[in-house]
Structures are given as structure tokens and as C-alpha cells.
Amino acid sequence: MRLVKLLANLGYGSRKEMQLAIRNGWVTDRDGNRLKPDSKTAHEDVLFDDEPLDPAQGVVLLLNKPVGYTCSTKDHGRLVYDLLPDRFRTRKPALSSIGRLDKETSGLLLFTDDGTFLHKVISPKSNVPKVYELALDRPLKGDEAALFASGEMMLESEDRPLKPAQLEVLDDTTARLTLHEGRYHQVRRMFAATGNHVAQLRRSRIGALGLEGLAEGEWKALSDNEKAKIFA
């Protein structure tokens, strides 16, 4: 791919703007040599304004989402994309979240521009577990774990039962729940069906991938080994 197209696809600007950037010497290799539009320099060796390029196509990002941000590109208010560099909004292919967390849910959120990878993560065949930490308004009654694990629980307005889910009770009002599917507001609806209300909700893990070392609001690109943990 020509350098001008590569930079434009990464969201640094239009092709015309990238031609100007190259002409002005803002695009170099790691030795400081100016690059030309047809330079064959490897992606990892290209610098834009003395900074390494953003990850190439096929990237998977991990974000520690704070409460108050919406998983959308169009809604009003604070969006998860506000926590990423502005240019990420105009990458081609587009960067999409892998599933969603509602506005009042925090924790682990993935993004990718790789449609095949996205569908692999969310496919029922992959059976990727998702772990949530939660706090409830009222004490647990004691029968929730058996109900969630039964594979017979039905949510209102749905016509098929939930897959078995594992509930680990931490104390009277806090618990850890592991799901193997991702229905709309599933955790909140499950507890609502038992007469309780989820006051705080955080996704802490997808597969064997967690948020270790990543502060709230921070993001990073995943290595191949980290991506593999999703399916571990």
C-alpha cells in the first residue's frame, strides 16, 4: 500500500493532507530520513511527526471503560470513542466495539477493525466467557445461583432460555457472574427477574483476558498472545 493511502486509512488526514505532510518532511523512518509517497518502509519503522504510527489494520484494542460513556459514535454526551485518539474515528476499515457495555457499566471493552475477529469473539460457537463484578441494592435470597445455572431461566419478552451462567457469591450484596452469551442488558435483567436491582456493574474479564495494569479510561493495543487469551 502506498504511504499516502496508508496514512489516510489510519485517520491521520485526507490523502491530499498526507501528500502535503510527506512533502513537508513530517513522515520519516526511524533514522530520520524523509520518506516519499512510494517508499517501501515497513509500517513499524515509519514515524509521523516523530511518533510511531498507530497499529496497522487488524488491530484489537482493550479499553478500561469508565461509567458515564456510551458505546456509540452518534449518541449525544460522552462516547467511548472520546477516550481514544480523534483520528481513530476515521480509520478505514472502521474501528468497532466488540459487543457493548451500557452507559452505567464499566470495565473491559474491546475494539477492532477486523470483522472476522469480531464475529469470532461474539459467535456462540466460540463460547467465550465474560465475567462481571456486581453490587446489588438488596441482599441475595440464596436461590439465584441455582436458577442462573439451570439453563431454564427465561427473560421477559424472550422465547428461549438463557445459557447456564455461574454465580459466585462474595457477600450478601456483591457477586461475580460469568456469562457465555451476550443478550441485551442481560446481567441487569437477570437480577431484575429475581426482584433485585444491580447498583454497580463492571466487566472484569473476557476469556482469560483481564484489565491488569490498565487504569480506568486507559487503552492499549493487544499483542497476539493477549488476543489468544480471549479464547483460552
Cβ–Cβ < 8 Å for 19, 6:
no
- CA 83/CA 104 separation, integer angstroms: 16
Catalytic residue among 29, 45, 102, 114: 102
Q: What angle is formed at CA 75 by the lines to CA 71 and CA 78, rounded to 5 degrees?
A: 65
Q: What is the DSSP letter of 159?
A: S
Is 102 tagged catalytic? yes
Contacts with 217 (C-beta within 8 Å, 6 or more apart), sequence order = 64, 66, 83
Kindly report the number of other CB atoms within 10 A of residue 63's CB atom: 25
Does the CA dihedral 34-41-31-4 come out positive or negative?
Answer: positive
Q: Cα 207 from chain centroid?
A: 13
C-alpha cell at 95: 474501528
Residue 178's beta-bridge partner residues?
A: 131, 166
3-state secondary structure of 143: coil
Residues designated as active site: 102
